[in-house]
Amino acid sequence: MRARSSTTDPRPAATTSYREIVRQLADAQKAVASGAPPYSILVNRRVGRLLAAWAYRRGLVPDSVTAISAVITFAAIALVPTLAPTWWLGIVVWVGLALGYAFDSADGQVARLRGGGSLAGEWLDHVVDSVKLSSLHLAVLVMAYRFADLSSAAWLLVPVGFALVAAVSFFTMILNDKLREVHAARHGGPARRVVPTSVARRLLLLPTDYGILVLSFLTLGWPRVFFVIYTVLFVANLGHLVLALRKWRRDMVEIDSVTGEAR
């Protein structure tokens, strides 16, 4: 979701104070995307800022920060289908997923501190995110099969459906951005429209926030409770995707009508 640099910054990062780096990141923070959910903006981005300042002062490049995010995230995901659910496991998984998510935000912020981004960095970021989104729901599928005393095997279709919704949502959002960039390069104009989002709408988007999904793992020690919450989040994400696909399709048709292109 962001281009990142893998080059070595010639500036001595350690000579800049931690607080000064945090302030620089806050001043240079990119605009909030339309429809961005609250946890990602109000919590994860700010925690990522603190981690980015730490990483920058230690001379870490963005790809190294991405690697840290991947190791922590996938270690937490691996615990879900492997160990029997307990209250302490839920806490460990939540901490791992939340910390991995924060480092995922930090890599792009490190790139801004280092003065630019790269296609290779953006590619790596997207690949890690796509694997994370699919593997997390597959881990829940195995956990539910092994440990959750579900009333019917049909409930196992929930994590399967959630994995599909997550993959389609992620791919389509990336595709939307890329198609708009292609349109802007060919015909001019902004690559992305910034539309103000009301507080009420952002609150409605909470169930679609990855950070809220991560929070649900705090109830992992009570598999039935967890699965009820997980199912509610799935239904909310499915509903959002259906509505979003209609809107995104209309956006593409509108762009075609402006440029005179048709299929």
Would you say the C-alpha torsion 123, 184, 117, 109 has a positive or negative sign?
Answer: negative
Q: What is the pLDDT along the chain (263 residues), one digit of tens a residue?
A: 454 444 444 454 556 788 888 887 777 666 555 556 778 888 999 999 999 999 998 889 999 999 999 999 999 999 999 999 999 999 999 999 999 999 999 998 898 888 777 888 889 999 999 999 999 999 999 999 999 888 889 999 999 999 999 999 999 999 998 898 888 877 765 555 555 566 677 778 888 999 999 999 999 999 999 999 999 999 999 999 999 999 999 989 988 887 666 55
What is the tally of structural domains in the chain? 1
* Residue 168 is assigned to a structural domain of this protein: yes
User: Which residues lie closer than 8 Å to 246 by C-beta, 6 or more apart?
Assistant: none
Residue-number span of the structural domain to which 191 is assigned: 13-259
Question: CATH number for the domain including 75?
Answer: 1.20.120.1760
**Residue 5 maps to a domain:** no
Q: Is 143 within the bounds of a domain?
A: yes
Q: Is residue 149 part of a domain?
A: yes
**Would the CA dihedral through 170, 171, 172, 173 be positive or negative?**
positive
Give the CA distances from residue 68 to residues 49, 65, 78, 99, in Å, rounded to whole numbers and listed in that order. Answer: 15, 5, 16, 10
Asked whether residue 1 is assigned to any structural domain, the reply reads no
C-alpha distances (whole Å) from 89 to each of 18, 82, 134, 215, 220 are 33, 11, 21, 13, 7
Question: Is residue 2 included in any domain, yes or no?
Answer: no
